[in-house]
Amino acid sequence: MGGLGLVMRVRVDGFDSIQLPACRYFRQVLSPLVGLAISFGLTLTSCRLTQNAVPLGKLCFRTQKPCRPQPGVGRIIVYAIVRSGGKQYKVAPQTVFSVEKLDVPVGTEHVLDDVLLVADDQRVTVGTPRVPGAAVVVKVLDQYRGKKIRGFTYKPKKNVRRRYGHRQYLTRLEVVDIRTGNGTS
């Protein structure tokens, strides 16, 4: 249930130590605590990071979400900007996103080769206008129609009014692989 995680112990004069989960927002959590202690005339005697067994599902004080490791620590971040249907999408591996309808059967893989930018943890490659050799391999998850948009037009003083609706055909995609221009993925 509990794993090893960082815990911040704060001890203020006259009080027992307060245990806070250490995350990337621990400075924002600590500074109001120090300000409160100083306003009551107390001093902060110790603040140290210790390793204790705490549940990894601890919530972050600022975001109320589970504490996450810092981005880029122990993993390679790769993303690309792809153009499809006249729009640009920022995608990363295992990202699910929707584009205007592509005539591709559900369940098959498709290659989007209109890649405008590819970035990894070491460099960013910007195309002019495309990155040569770069491609994003996606899997088609679904063909569906979007939310209905209702429109209304009229001509003033002529008693001409018209209501209409529109539902866009969309394709839901999942990114399988991002191929950079230098042959690696």
31, part of any domain: yes
- The yes-or-no verdict on residue 101 having pLDDT over 80 is yes
CB atoms within 10 A of CB 131: 22
The DSSP-derived string for 122-135 is: S-EEE-SSS-TT-E
* Report for 26-30, 58-62, 68-72, 99-103: range of highest mean pLDDT: 99-103
- The yes-or-no verdict on residue 148 having pLDDT over 80 is yes
Rounded Cα distance, 73 and 121, in Å: 10
Q: Is residue 180 very low, low, confident or very high in pLDDT (cuts 50, 70, 90)?
A: confident
pLDDT given at position 162: 97
* One domain for residues 44 and 89: no
Q: What is the pLDDT of residues 34-51, one digit of tens each?
A: 555 555 555 444 444 444
Contact 126, 139 (CB under 8 A): no
Rounded Cα distance, 134 and 183, in Å: 8
* One domain for residues 87 and 25: no
Rounded Cα distance, 152 and 173, in Å: 32
Rounded Cα distance, 62 and 74, in Å: 24
pLDDT given at position 31: 54
* One domain for residues 86 and 165: yes
Average pLDDT over residues 155-178: 96
Among candidate residues 18, 15, 19, the one with its CA nearest the CA of residue 5:
19
Q: What is the pLDDT of residues 10-38, one digit of tens each?
A: 555 545 555 555 454 444 555 555 555 55
Query: What does the block give as tokens for 4?
Result: 């090893």
Among candidate residues 37, 38, 40, the one with its CA nearest the CA of residue 17:
37
Please provide residue 13's backbone torsions phi and psi, each rounded to the nearest 5 degrees.
-50, 130
User: What is the share, in percent, of the chain residues with pLDDT greater than 90?
Assistant: 48
* One domain for residues 105 and 172: yes
* One domain for residues 42 and 102: no
Among 32-46, 89-103, 119-133, 164-178, the least confident range: 32-46
* One domain for residues 92 and 47: no
- Domain hosting 28: range is 2-55
* One domain for residues 21 and 95: no
pLDDT given at position 45: 46
